[in-house]
Amino acid sequence: MIELKNIRFTVATEDGGAQRTIIDNLSFTFEKGRFYAITGPNGGGKTTLAKLIMGINPITSGSVILDGKDVTSMSITDRAKAGIAYGFQSSARFKGTSFRDLLSIAAGTDDEGRLAQIIARVGICSMDFLDKPVDSKLSGGEIKKIELATIIARNPKLAIYDEPDTGIDLWTIGPMVELLKREQQDYGTTTLVVSHNRAFLEAADTLVLIKDGKVAYTGSFDNALPILTDLSVCGFGDTCEGASDVRCYR
C-alpha cells in the first residue's frame, strides 16, 4: 500500500515570479495488490506524480508512506530496494549494455535457463532480444518491451509504468495488458499504469484521473466516461462531437 499525503510539487517559473504548482496538495491511497490506471489530459501531472512516488522528483511538501513506512526522504535507490520499480515514459538507452546485462541485474542472476524463464513469463519479447544492445538502434517499441521485462524480472511490490504502450504495436497491447494483470494477480503486485489507452483504463480495478495536479476522479472506468469525454482530451475536430461518443478516447 502506498499513501500520498498532501503532496505538493512546485517549480520556479522562468521569469523568477511566483512558483508554479504542478502537484497541488494531492492525497491518495493506492491499496496493496490493486491495479490502477492513471489518466488525464497532457500536462496534468501524471508523470510528475509517478516520479514523486519513485523519488525521481523531490516533493516540496507532504509525505509518501510505503506499507506504513515514511519513505519521503528516501533516495531512488533505497525506494527501489524497498520494492518500488519504475518504467519511464521515455525509456533510457545505454550504450554498450545489452538486454542480457539489464535482465541479469534485474533478476539477480545470469543463468541462461532462468533468463529464458523470465522471457517466457513476460511473453512480449523474444529470446532474440537477449543479446541486443540497449542503444539508439533499438526501435521505440523494442525498448519499451525490454524495460517492462526488466521491471517484471524484479518482482516489485509496487510497479509504476509511465505510458508502457508508447510505440507498442497494436498486436502487443492486449498481451501487455494481460501480462500486467497476471503479474498483479500472481504476485500481488500493486500496479500503477499511466496511460491514455482504453485497454489499460478498462483493465484497471480503479481509474484515477489527474488534472491540474489534483485527483479529479477516482472510480470505475464506466463511471468515468462522461468525465473523460467532457475533458475533450480525446481527439481533434469532428471525432469528438457529441458528449457520448468516447471512441475518440483511443
Ligand X SMILES: Nc1ncnc2c1ncn2[C@@H]1O[C@H](COP(=O)(O)OP(=O)(O)OP(=O)(O)O)[C@@H](O)[C@H]1O
Write down the least CB distance from residue 113 to ligand X, Å.
Answer: 38
SS (H, E, C) the chain: CEEEEEEEEEECCCCCCCCEEEEEEEEEEECCCCEEEEECCCCCCHHHHHHHHHCCCCCCEEEEEECCEECCCCCHHHHHHCCEEEECCCCCCCCCCEHHHHHHHHHCCCCHHHHHHHHHHHCCCCHHHCCCECCCCCCHHHHHHHHHHHHHHCCCCEEEEECCCCCCCHHHHHHHHHHHHHHHHHHCCEEEEECCCHHHHHHCCEEEEEECCEEEEEECHHHHHHHHHHCCCCCCHHHHCCCCCCCCCC
Pattern of binders to ligand X over 12-51, x per CB under 6 A? ----------x-----------------x-xxxxxxx---
Write down the least CB distance from residue 48 to ligand X, Å.
Answer: 3
* C-beta closer to ligand X: residue 43 or 108: 43
Q: Which does 22 bind (CB under 5 to 8 A by kind): ligand X, Mg ion, none?
A: ligand X
Pattern of binders to ligand X over 45-84, x per CB under 6 A? xxxx------------------------------------
* C-beta closer to Mg ion: residue 46 or 198: 46
181: cell is 494483470
Pattern of binders to ligand X over 89-118, x per CB under 6 A? x-----------------------------
Write down the least CB distance from residue 89 to ligand X, Å.
Answer: 6
Q: Is 198 in the site for ligand X (CB under 6 A)?
A: no
Binding site for Mg ion (CB under 5 A): 46-47, 89
* C-beta closer to ligand X: residue 14 or 241: 14
* C-beta closer to Mg ion: residue 115 or 194: 194
Q: Which residues bind ligand X (CB under 6 A)?
A: 11, 22, 40, 42-48, 89
